[in-house]
Amino acid sequence: MTNALEDMRARIRTQLADVEDEVWDAGEKDDLLTWAVRRLNQRLNRPLDPDTSTQQIALVADTYFYAIDAGITHVNRIDLIDTNSNEVGEVLGWEVTGDLVAGTAKLHVSPRIVDQLGTLRILGYGRYTLPAMTAAQTSAIPDDYVTLVLALARGEALRRMMTDRAKFRQWQVHNQVENISINELVQMVNEADQQANDEWAAMKRWQVPVEARI
């Protein structure tokens, strides 16, 4: 399962009983799903794949600041690969400057490291996203988080509809076999929120690497 944007949009269409995008168009559903993944990222980080090109920085002579990929949120360690593609191991003499949350951070590297040239490999954590089906899936949410993201998106969609009576009436006309009152809509929002809370409670993630020796 890729859990690409198209997959997640198809699932939320079914959960909202709006398979033809008559109430929430595709753009609104994408916005709801993106919002839900941002909520996920506030508590659960994505372990970086060290072999992904966005986690590697080629050193350039006399250059000491390097842009960090916007998908990276935590830098725990920097390894060096020399110009002969040999693993040198962890290096010291670096710091993160700028704002990782805003995606504007840079890696400030000591001149003694830059002088060796080679490639730096960033180890740490990043954001989950909703990549398109045709894009790389390295940042897509794992299967275990699908239910949580859908519950968050569904609850927010229904919550927004509570303040938009025109959309509420449209949803009733197109998709409901029985008339749904505003009180019943509130109950549906609460049920979605409770499912999200249950999913949060069932999850545990180590936020830092486990100490080990190499």
Question: Which positions ≥6 away from 68 have C-beta within 8 Å?
Answer: 75, 96, 98, 100, 105, 106, 107, 122
Q: What pLDDT score does 185 carry?
A: 74
Assign 214 a pLDDT band (cuts: 50, 70, 90): very low
- Per-residue DSSP letter, 211: P
Q: In the predicted model, what is the mean pLDDT of the chain?
A: 86
| pLDDT tens digits, 110-157 | 999 999 999 999 999 999 999 999 888 888 999 999 999 999 999 999
Assign 4 a pLDDT band (cuts: 50, 70, 90): very high
| pLDDT tens digits, 158-191 | 888 877 766 777 676 665 555 566 677 778 888 8
- Cα distance between residue 146 and residue 159, in whole Å: 20
Alpha-carbon Rg for the chain, nearest whole angstrom, is 22
Whole-model pTM: value is 0.79
Domain boundaries, the chain: 5-44+131-202, 46-126
Phi/psi zone of residue 101: left (φ > 0), alpha (ψ -120 to 50 degrees), beta? alpha
Question: With the C-alpha atoms ordered 79, 82, 83, 85, is the resulting torsion angle positive or negative?
Answer: negative
